[in-house]
Structure 1
Amino acid sequence: MKITIIDYGAGNIQSIQFALNRLGFEGILTNNADEISSADKVIFPGVGEASSAMKKLKNTGLDELIPTLKQPVLGICLGMQLMCNHSEEGNTKGLGIFDTDVIRFSNEVKVPQMGWNTIYNLQSPLFQGINGNEYLYLVHSFYAPLSENTIAITNYETEYSSALQRYNFYGVQFHPEKSGIIGEQILKNFLNL
């Protein structure tokens, strides 16, 4: 199986590669359109700030490529947020894959949300074999509200989408590569789609 990890200079790439290695797979880190298009699975990671990450995608033409992909694509953290219509972070226009906007937590709670929190109301093969209320690792100041694309929920100040799905596109707000055995199971489920 050919797995590509989109390289656009905004990522926590090594921990994703290590997690794939533990599952017996290798991820090719690339920003080459042909490599990405010909992959069986595509992982779209992201750590950092939305507007500068989107600029990097535009500079390489990946902003045009990603929405056209036909194979399963998994956006992680900022990757998921960039797949939405818009983010309040840097007033950033997203890729428009998920029909929702990304907004900031209020100052009523500690921002960023950092650490372990539960996911529940799981509605996708991505969560096969996983019970609700498992703990996963999150670190983020912005979130996607509940929408018709929501396939898992987390509560921090309010209920929000900890995972989204539309067609072949999946997004998770948490970091499966840093979430122990449950995160590995989610990655394995993605690779089995």
Structure 2
Amino acid sequence: VPTLICWSQGGKQVYVTGTFNDWKHKIPLTKSENDFTTVLNFLPGTHYLKFIVDDEWKCSNELLTGPDPDGNLVNYIEVSSQGSDEFDGIESEDHWNDSYSQLENEGYTTEIPDFSNFKGPNVDRPPHLPAQLQNVLLNEVTSDQNEIIGSNNDSMLLPTPNHVVLNHLYACSIRDNIMAVAVTTRYRKKVNLHNNIKYSTIN
């Protein structure tokens, strides 16, 4: 699957290498005005890669980052069999040429044409959730304790980000001018890591 690899964090000479070539070869990136790019053919799946910028190993801030099986911090990309969505939603020039040729053959009229005649090609609908919330890892195990829930590569990804930490505040009914308040935090595993109870006198 052709995949665009881009580096836009400066440098004079930029190379890329990764699991797609067993880390054996440095592939040069072509310099443009503001960045370095190349197009590589990847098999569907998850691929780990890292950039070599002026003889220094670096990770790109524009790609997903995580540890590889050896614990080294690298970039990784997930390639689907449908190909890159880099240019998805961009209608081809032929489509608009066909629509324009249809208009040339039409005469002037006051009738409103059917919208379906001018509708562009179908594109995927946006996801219901942001990408970072679609596969939240809670590090739970199944009943046999042998298999991590999720895909085969989940154990190599980063921990749950902070934006999915849930804080709960509980308060009971006021009795004798005293109210009990409990604070719990749910993080990573579905358990309460701490539980603080505070009592406040109601004036």
Structure 1-normalised TM-score? 0.22
Structure of greater relative contact order (alpha carbons < 8 Å, 6+ residues apart): 1
Structure 2-normalised TM-score? 0.21
The structure in which a higher percent of residues are helix is 1
Q: Determine which structure has more spread, i.e. the larger CA radius of gyration.
A: 2
